[in-house]
Structure 1
Amino acid sequence: MKNSKLVLATRPSPTISADIFRLEEEQVSPLSDGQFLIKNHYLSVDPAMRGWVTDMPNYIPPVEIGAVMRSFAVGEVIDSKHPDYAVGEFVYGLFGWQEFTVSDSSDIERKVNLADGPLSINLHVLGMTGATAWFGLTEIGDPKEGETVVVSTAAGAVGSMVGQIAKARGCCTIGITGSDEKAARCLKEFGYDAVLNYKTATDLADDLANACPDGVDVYFDNVSGPITDAVMNLFNIGARMTVCGVIGISPDHVDGPRVSRTMLVKRAKMQGFLIFDHMHRLSEAVSGLLPLYKAGKLSFSEEVFEGLLSAPKGLESLLAGTNQGKVIVKLEG
């Protein structure tokens, strides 16, 4: 049996494009005791990949040149010499951009219950995306009923989940996004109370002030940069800010806003959040998210790319912001 895989061929210089990846094929190695073979059905495409393919210091080692591109995936056990994983079971884990994975269970995050919903939702609602929104909002943001929660990249896979979780907790939700189409989806599909398009706003700070007349209690930050500067000016006393992404600033960014006075005067809390610190608690997030999903309180959208070779194009779409929803790759068969 042959395995097709996409490996990192070179570092971006500096733009990430499809040609930094290379298709390779190899024979699937025979299983040893304690191993099992997974046939991947869906692969994930995530913003974190922007950092994973560079060799700059990061929270996780970069993908090595010649190595399979790091990615979460969901697949089916089709052969097993492991006592805890039977043929026919489905699993979610860090399997990479490839058709098959030989695992010893160290890369498994959890077993998948097919009764929970479509298989693909385990890559977002019930996977890393959902857990990011759940823990980043509920444990750092800690929103209370009646508070105002602002979310940047509000139409994104994480942002849309954050807004809906906050709404389910009785909060006023304000989204910030980059197109009128995404703004409309935030209002109609994700239930935001108000949404701002930062690309067309003539005065974002003034628009935010009008949208948040009672100030901002919780800010889920997926971008940093000028958008965050504008939101922080509206912080209430005791505001909480989850720093989940910094795509709005360049990696070599040095100068920036001086936030110390705002944090002092508003007695605010700002905390960085990385989902890898919480993946061992994924079952907790699923326990919180699944009832909301079953109750119809978590809408989502997927942009599905067909076939392994389409994965780099999916990443390009995601980083360009032209995607509509969670980007996933559906493998043939």
Structure 2
Amino acid sequence: MGKILVTGGAGFIGSNFVHFLIGNTDSEVVVLDKLTYAGNPASLAGLPEERVSLVVGDVCDAETVDALVAGADAVVHYAAESHNDNSLAGPRPFVDTNILGTYTLIEAARRHGVRYHHISTDEVYGDLELDDPQRFTESTPYNPSSPYSSTKAGSDLLVRAWVRSFGLEATISNCSNNYGPYQHVEKFIPRQITNVIDGIRPRLYGTGLNVRDWIHANDHSSAVWTILNRGRIGETYLVGADGEKDNKSVVEAILALMGEDPQAYDHVADRPGHDLRYAIDSTKLRTELGWTPAYRDFDSGLAATIGWYRDNEDWWRPAKAATEAKYARSGQ
């Protein structure tokens, strides 16, 4: 694929995908990013300018989107409002970006006959009981529980309808929780890592027994590239690396890997509607398309992530104080 348009390519998962493309393909990449607080052009620093260009713009801007899609061989749509706490405090941006932005992109892709891949989340399926032996599959009914997950569910359904009604050449992937470089310090793992670096005790919602299925962002990127090249049009693929961990265990692992007492953290009030457990069954992706994750051991991926935040303080430091001030105002 000669030219790939990556929306949200200055954000966490999107920028990791851009780095993956530059390191593993010959593709040219155009990044469309609104550069909200979660988008950081520094995440693209050092990439070759002849292969990566950044367009600052909104996925809801039909004119900008149309011009960029017309010149692309494929679109990979990462751009999203994605923080659950923020969606509870102010849902409207989630409706705008996640639903209207997706509509704008798929209409442009339909007009120009461009291959489209839609990045989604396992949160559209709701949650599982902690002792439930089942995991999410591509046939699990949608049951979102927050403004974030409900707007992502809506965007998935738009893509499915455009495939069926208009012949859009599209695939969808629903991925489990990502961790790795370039993730904003408001998110769970980088917040704990940077707190420990700053000598601040990590904070854990509720009992900390909520379970997430973790995957390194590099593995997510390789899965998306596999689907983009070999996935069947109209299909959905779940992306996971068998990384189920409860939040308590993750915090304790971070502390231990950073040479601290694993019990040196505090519990804070749980957030409303906090899903209990996510768990991905990625059998379809692995058997049909032959994908496997590189980071099969969560602790090794977590250690590499801790090392990245230790070595790149200049990247995350500018956002840290404001993030902690926001959490302090809400008692978190």
Normalised-by-shorter TM-score class: 0.3 to 0.5
TM-score by length of structure 1 reads 0.36
**Greater share of strand:** 1
**Greater share of helix:** 2
Larger radius of gyration: 1
TM-score by length of structure 2 reads 0.36
